[in-house]
Amino acid sequence: MSEITQEQVAHLASLARIALTPQEIESLTTELSSIVDNVATVAEVATADVPATSHPIPLQNVYRADVPGTTLTPEQALAGAPDHDGSRFRVTAILGEEQ
């Protein structure tokens, strides 16, 4: 079994802003451990000469021309927003700062 702990799951949940009950933390700890174990099995096969893959299809250098296209109108942009003020989104003041 891998070393996933309940503390790690609780920490991850708080970073992801997901509220979990103690029961959910417990069951997710077991499930995540099992997933990590399965990944470890794959890792055993992958030797140093096998490069890591982050994409299933071997594509690269897919670029867009630097030409402006159509933009949303402020009305469209704000259509799904819970609140706005003029053409700006209005959000709860969040304790924190720009990253």
Binding interface with other proteins (CB under 8 A): 11-12, 14-17, 54-55, 59-74, 77-78, 80, 85-99
Choice between 50 and 67, CB closer to other proteins: 67
Choice between 23 and 69, CB closer to other proteins: 69
Smallest gap from Cβ 42 to other proteins, in A, equals: 16
The secondary element (H helix, E strand) that includes residue 85 is strand 84-85
Choice between 23 and 66, CB closer to other proteins: 66
- Sign of the Cα pseudo-torsion (39, 42, 43, 49, in order): negative
Choice between 47 and 64, CB closer to other proteins: 64
How many CB atoms within 10 Å of residue 29? 17
DSSP 3-state of 54: coil
What is the Cα Rg of the chain in Å? 22
Smallest gap from Cβ 89 to other proteins, in A, equals: 4
**Residues β-bridged to residue 84:** 89
Smallest gap from Cβ 12 to other proteins, in A, equals: 8
